[in-house]
Amino acid sequence: MPLNPQTADPQQPALRTGKLLQVLGIWFGIAAAIGNTIAAGIVRVPGDIAKLLPNPWLFFAVWILGGGYALLCASSMAELGAAIPRSGGQYNFSHRAIGEYAGFLVGWSDSLSTCGTSAVVAIVIGEYSAALFTPLAGGEKIIAIAVLLFFFVLQWRGVKWGSGAQLVTSLLKTAAFVILVLACFVLGGPSHQAAAAAAALSPAVPTGWLLAVAIVVGLQQVIYTVDGWDGVIYFGEEVRDPGRDVPRAIFGSVISIMVIYLLLNAAVLYVLPMSEVSGNIFVLGTAAGKIFGRYGDVIVRSIMIVSLLSCINACQMFCTRILYAMSCDRLFFKRASQVNAGGTPVLALFLSTVVAIIFVLGSFERVIAMLSFFFVANYTLSYTSLFILRKRAPELPRPYRAWGYPWTTGAAVLASAIFLVGSLATDRDNAPLAFYMLLLSYPIFWIMKRFSKVL
């Protein structure tokens, strides 16, 4: 299949009715990834995984596998991001290499999953706020919607406002988590001894097919929790030196995120027995309670609200750029490519906020399972795009080339395909629904292709 002529030059979209500002650097790329990634998942997912795999070795194994998958993928994503420095994320790679529908499919699922993440995070902010301030109890969804609207106004002001908020909130939450980890290891001696004595009370580990299902579902949750390490690729046009900064930001993000996650989980299992971690939907709060007593819950919920605000800011910026890029290529509403003086595509921001508000009505566990399917489906197409572009566009400037190509890229594609097949085989409730939503993209693609020039 020939390259799409509308995107022959990756830095010159087909339709341009505004101008993004080239003002971002490597630290924003890492901050965007940390802000997007370290969020609601780290609070709830460890308890869910411990319930599925109540053994420390298996528990850490799925986290390490998920991190290894991200590291394996990072090199290929870094080459694509540096070679095609357009804002909009993975949409650009499939659109350039495979064609319009493949690009639309990735943009469709990526925008849905990003808006879904914003919704999940906003709901958790509402829950934590209500727990901290009892007069707010019962208004969790109103709080969630108010938070989404706040970030709409902030980002409407311009990219410098959004990037500034991202840098500050990401720094604050990283520092807070590091302090929490140190407190667990330095002050948690008595709790560690009690946890070791209670180790015999851990639930039984599943065997056979049930173990296989538990590993796949656990990986689903880890992939959802880790996803976001490639955040810088959503801002390719806005990075000052994408050939240098995009690869550095991607690798810096993967390593930073995995170090923080492994340390947090190690700190939790240092002060809590597996029986208390299993099924715990607020495991960091329980661990902090062992260290700080009755103040532990308040401390962790306060940290998490800052952390989650950072995540919503990043997600809204991501989704806005996806819709903007699709609009530039006439695969979405024409007006979504219009950019205000601050460098924000306003209609794209408005639509992503509306979709996130609609998602607020969803279920946390179902959204996570569906989003992990979307994430890996997009990765599969992106890494396939790298093979295609290496063959059909050898002249494309490549400031960074994936190490270990084609073996590392092939391994990433194979791992992604195995995960997707495993999800469809073992998760009969959520994975098929995500698959059907991907199929729904074709009629929407046809409608957008037909009417985007006039809408």
User: Do the Cβ atoms of 343 and 238 come closer than 8 Å?
Assistant: yes
First to last CA, the chain: 29
pLDDT digits (tens, 9 = 90+) for 316-374: 999 999 999 999 998 998 888 888 888 889 999 999 999 888 888 755 556 666 666 77
pLDDT digits (tens, 9 = 90+) for 293-316: 888 888 888 888 888 888 899 889
The pLDDT assigned to 150 comes to: 94
The torsion region of residue 400 among left (phi > 0), alpha (psi -120 to 50) and beta comes to beta
pLDDT of 8 above 70:
no
| 438 Cβ contact list (under 8 Å, min separation 6) | 105, 108, 109, 374, 377
pLDDT digits (tens, 9 = 90+) for 40-96: 678 778 988 988 888 889 999 999 998 888 888 899 999 999 999 999 989 999 999
- CA-CA distance, 148 to 128, in Å (whole number)? 15
Average pLDDT over residues 388-402: 92
Average pLDDT over residues 272-287: 87
The pLDDT assigned to 437 comes to: 76
Q: Residue 293's CB: how many other CB atoms inside 10 A?
A: 9
Q: Residue 9's CB: how many other CB atoms inside 10 A?
A: 11
Q: Give the amino acid at 366.
A: R
Give the DSSP letter string of 167-232: HHHHHHHHHHHHHHHHHHHHH-HHHHHHHHHTGGGPPPPP-HHHHHHHHHHHHHHHHHHHTTTTGG
pLDDT of 38 above 50:
yes
pLDDT of 392 above 80:
yes
Q: Give the amino acid at 107.
A: G
Q: What is the mean pLDDT of the chain?
A: 84
User: Do the Cβ atoms of 291 and 270 come closer than 8 Å?
Assistant: no
User: Do the Cβ atoms of 139 and 127 come closer than 8 Å?
Assistant: no
The pLDDT assigned to 268 comes to: 92
- 171: which 2 tokens? 């720094």
The pLDDT assigned to 193 comes to: 84
- CA-CA distance, 454 to 451, in Å (whole number)? 6
pLDDT digits (tens, 9 = 90+) for 431-442: 677 777 778 888
What values do phi and psi take at 221, rounded to 5?
-70, -40
The pLDDT assigned to 221 comes to: 82
- CA-CA distance, 117 to 371, in Å (whole number)? 8
- 257: which 2 tokens? 């995120």
The pLDDT assigned to 322 comes to: 94
The pLDDT assigned to 80 comes to: 94
| 324 Cβ contact list (under 8 Å, min separation 6) | 20, 87, 88, 336, 337, 339, 345, 348
pTM of the model: 0.81
Percent of the chain whose pLDDT exceeds 70: 90
pLDDT of 16 above 60:
no
Average pLDDT over residues 279-288: 86
Q: Which CATH superfamily is domain 22-451 in?
A: Amino acid/polyamine transporter I (1.20.1740.10)
User: Do the Cβ atoms of 250 and 264 come closer than 8 Å?
Assistant: no
Average pLDDT over residues 383-400: 92
Q: Which residues pair with 339 in a beta bridge?
A: 345
What values do phi and psi take at 189, rounded to 5?
-55, -55
The pLDDT assigned to 368 comes to: 60
User: Can you give the length of the chain in residues?
Assistant: 455
The pLDDT assigned to 148 comes to: 94
User: Do the Cβ atoms of 371 and 41 come closer than 8 Å?
Assistant: no
The pLDDT assigned to 367 comes to: 61
Q: Where are the domains of the chain?
A: 22-451
Task: Compute the Cα dihedral for 135, 141, 146, 147 and give only its sign.
Answer: positive
pLDDT of 10 above 60:
no
The pLDDT assigned to 362 comes to: 59
Residue 133: half-sphere exposure toward Cβ, Cα within 13 Å: 10
Average pLDDT over residues 182-193: 88
The pLDDT assigned to 386 comes to: 94
Q: Find where tokens 């027995």 sit.
A: 273
Average pLDDT over residues 31-39: 83
Average pLDDT over residues 219-245: 87
- CA-CA distance, 378 to 108, in Å (whole number)? 10
* C-alpha dihedral (50, 52, 56, 60), degrees to nearest 10: -90
| 309 Cβ contact list (under 8 Å, min separation 6) | 125, 147, 169
Which of 7-21, 235-249, 398-412, 414-428 bottoms out in mean pLDDT, i.e. has the lowest?
Answer: 7-21
User: Do the Cβ atoms of 89 and 110 come closer than 8 Å?
Assistant: yes
